[in-house]
Structure 1
C-alpha cells in the first residue's frame, strides 16, 4: 500500500463524516478513508453472471472468492504495492466509485463502503472509530477480516489452479 492510501497529507476529514454525509457527498480524502484496507476486493473471485438479477446487483450467493490476489498485492502486509498508480500496472483493476458501488454487492459484508451504502454503520474495528491502527489490525484479525498473511499472488498461476483455491473466509 502506498503511504498516501486513505491517509493523504492534504486530507481534510470532516468530523464523523461517515455518519453525517452520504457517500456521494464525501470528498476524495473521506472516500479513501472509508476503506479499511482489508484487501478482499483485490482477491480473484468468480461471479455467476448467468443468475444476476435484472438490476445487475451481483448478490452474495453468486460469488466465490479465492485466496489468490492481484499481482500488486503484498500478501504479507495485505496492502497494494502501487495503490496510487494501480490502474497503470493493472488496467482492469476496478476503481470503486459511488457510481459503480450499487453493482458491486459482491464486496464482503464487512466492507465499509457496502455497509454505508446499505445504511449500516462502520464495523466496530474500523480505524475511523478506533483511531488506533494497531488496535484496528488486531480487531480485524480477531474478526477474521483481511488478506494479510493468507493470500497468494496470481503471478505464474494457471486458471485451473486458481479454480481450486476457493475460500470461505470472505463473506459477501
Structure 2
C-alpha cells in the first residue's frame, strides 16, 4: 500500500472543506482541515488521521474510482505512469 500512498503529490486539495449542493455539485472552499499544514500541504497527524474525528477518509483505488469530490488533477485519479519509459 506504500506505493499507492506514494502517488500523492501533496496538493492538499482533498483536505479542504467542500460544499455539496443537493444536485451533487461540489464547490471547494478555502477552509483547510485544522491539521493541514498549508505551507507543506502535509497532514500534521497523518499517522492517526483516521482516528481524530475530522472526517478524513482512507483513499483506496476502489474508493477513488467512485468519488466525485477529488479534483480531476488529483494524482490518485491520474492513470499510472509506466516506470522506465520516456
Structure 2 CA distance for partners of 1:75 and 1:91, relative to 1, 3 Å:
closer
- Give the TM-score normalised by the residue count of structure 1: 0.43
Instruction: Tell me which structure has the larger Cα radius of gyration.
Output: 1
Runs of 5+ unmatched residues, structure 1: 1-27, 53-61, 123-127, 129-172
Give the aligned CA root-mean-square deviation in angstroms.
2.0
1:93 corresponds in structure 2 to: 56
Task: Name whichever structure is richer in strand by fraction.
Answer: 2
4+ residue segments displaced more than 6 Å = none
- For these two proteins, the number of residue pairs brought into alignment is 82
Equivalent positions of 1:64-143 (< 5 A) are 64-90=27-53, 92-116=55-79
Task: Name whichever structure is richer in helix by fraction.
Answer: 1
CA distance in 1, matches of 2:28, 2:2: 28
Equivalent positions of 1:1-172 (< 5 A) are 28-48=1-21, 50-52=22-24, 62-90=25-53, 92-116=55-79
- Give the TM-score normalised by the residue count of structure 2: 0.79
